[in-house]
Amino acid sequence: MKNWGGAGTADFPSERAGKIGGEAVIAHKGFKPYGCWHCPIACGGRFEQKSGKFALELNDGVGHKPEYETLAMLGSNLLNDDLASIVKVNEICNNLGVDTISVGGTIGTSSSVMKTGCSAKRIPTAWR
């Protein structure tokens, strides 16, 4: 997380964003859409990732498609264009019952604090 204004195209160019965007998710060879009964949108999806560095360990390597917010907070927010890693962290968060938006924000803030050398002594008392 470079700044509080969000990651712009200078920090996260369109070429990198395309690696984790909706088209990349749908094009993944292990993606299978599903929807609620009689729903024409079918926004859900199963994501198969059985091998590789970020193989899914639960449900025989089949997890949930990452939602938009998950892709944003674990992807562009962290300047991460590795879809497989996002899918893996999504599986971990889902298994633990943890919100992926909060996790992405926490990792980004922690990373920013570490990079800037901010310490607890420099954080305003009201925030501690």
**What is the pLDDT tens value at each position of the chain, 128 positions in all?**
455 555 567 788 889 999 999 889 989 888 988 888 898 888 888 999 999 999 999 999 999 999 999 999 999 999 999 999 999 999 999 999 999 999 999 998 888 877 777 666 666 555 54
- pLDDT of 22: 86
> Which ranges of the chain would DSSP assign to H, the alpha helix?
14-17, 22-27, 68-74, 83-96, 100-116
- pLDDT of 121: 63
- pLDDT of 43: 86
- pLDDT of 126: 54
Read off the tokens for 69.
């917010």
Write b or e for each residue in 10-39: b if 16 or more Cβ atoms lie within 10 A of its Cβ, otherwise e: eebeeebbeebbeeebeebebeeeeeeeee
Q: Which residue is it, tokens 């195209």?
A: 9
Query: Would you give the DSSP letter of residue 67?
Result: P
- pLDDT of 7: 55
d(CA 125, CA 128) in angstroms, rounded, equals 5
Cα–Cα distance list, 10 to 56, 59, 71, 77, 111 (Å): 32, 38, 18, 13, 19
